Structure 1
Amino acid sequence: MKFWLPLFGVLLLLAACADDKKEAWQESEFFESGSFRMLGIKDKVGFIYDREILPFTANQPNKYMWHFWGDEDVLKGDIKVTAAFEEEPEQKIEILYDKIGFLSAHNGADYHIPSIMELPQVGMWKLEVYLDDKIFDTIYVEVM
């Protein structure tokens, strides 16, 4: 009986911790491509962004050039980016939609697409990138 009591306590603690687990939101990595600094996932997807030069500022639209790496058969279809605020992750807003598709290689990437993006609040945001209605990847950005 003495053996089961501590084991039961450990199991309860583990179960409680599992319920409290929250997705860790931290800004994605910065990387260089061509002569530009980008935020995203190196050799997959990112957009030109340098926080020191021009921070991503709440309620201020700005131009951002998206870059994609990969095969033509994967990088096709409509491009959509939704954004969720860390404090309200279940509420998503669409910040980019392009039916035209990709442009040619640019800045070391296989394809690129220009955009204007704006986010309404200061804090951490999760950007989900969709290609042809399938999730491609996720980028996190800190909005000032």
Structure 2
Amino acid sequence: MEKETSPTFSSHGQTMIGQENKIGFIYGEDIPLIAGEEQKYMWHLWGEPEELEGKFEVIGTNEETGKRVNVFETEKLGGPNNGADAHAPSSFSLPSSGIWELEAHVGNERFETLVVEVK
């Protein structure tokens, strides 16, 4: 059974996909997810300071094939941006089209999971 993609929401005039007041990245018609095409995406996270400390990494899993890839990682998050408590600029691409689950971790803890469609 196919998972539903995460909802989009608006924060400070930016359209994001994810979980409002938890995590999202800027996304939309002008910044789609296209298989094999690297794009810049700005991640935004909301939470208490202690929840947002440590390495930020995103692991992607293709729902159809089960293929797992390391999508993005950075040693630490930046400060407030676009209404979020922390942010991280990134460049990434996913290798194939379909539904992808993006599992975000901060420090060694799972923070949240987003579901996106890659064209």
| TM-score range relative to shorter protein | over 0.9
Give 1 or 2: higher helix fraction. 1
Unpaired runs of 5+ residues, structure 1, are 1-21
Partner of 2:22: 44
In structure 1, C-alpha distance between the alignment counterparts of 2:68 and 2:81, rounded to whole Å: 30
For residues 50 and 108 of structure 2, what CA distance do their matches in structure 1 show? 15
Q: How does 1:88-107 map to 2 (within 5 A)?
A: 88-89=65-66, 91-99=67-75, 101-107=76-82
2:34 counterpart (54, 57, 66): 57
Does the alignment pair 1:67 with 2:44? yes
Is the 8 Å Cα contact of residues 80 and 133 (structure 1) preserved in structure 2?
Answer: no
Aligned partners of 2:23 and 2:43 also within 8 Å:
yes
| Percent of matched pairs sharing the same residue | 36
Kindly name which structure, 1 or 2, has the bigger radius of gyration based on alpha carbons: 1
Q: Deviations over 1:23-62 (max 9, x none)?
A: x512100000011000000000000001x22321110000
1:35 paired residue among 13, 35, 43: 13
Matches within 5 A, 1:1-144: 24-50=2-28, 52-89=29-66, 91-99=67-75, 101-144=76-119
**C-alpha RMSD of matched pairs (Å):** 1.1
Q: TM (normalized to structure 2)?
A: 0.95
Q: 1:105 offset after TM fit, Å? A: 0.7
Runs of 4+ residues over 3 Å off in structure 1: none
Give the number of the structure whose residues are more often strand, by fraction. 2
Normalised by the length of structure 1, the TM-score is 0.79
Question: What amino acid is the match of 2:103?
Answer: E
Number of residue pairs matched by the alignment: 119
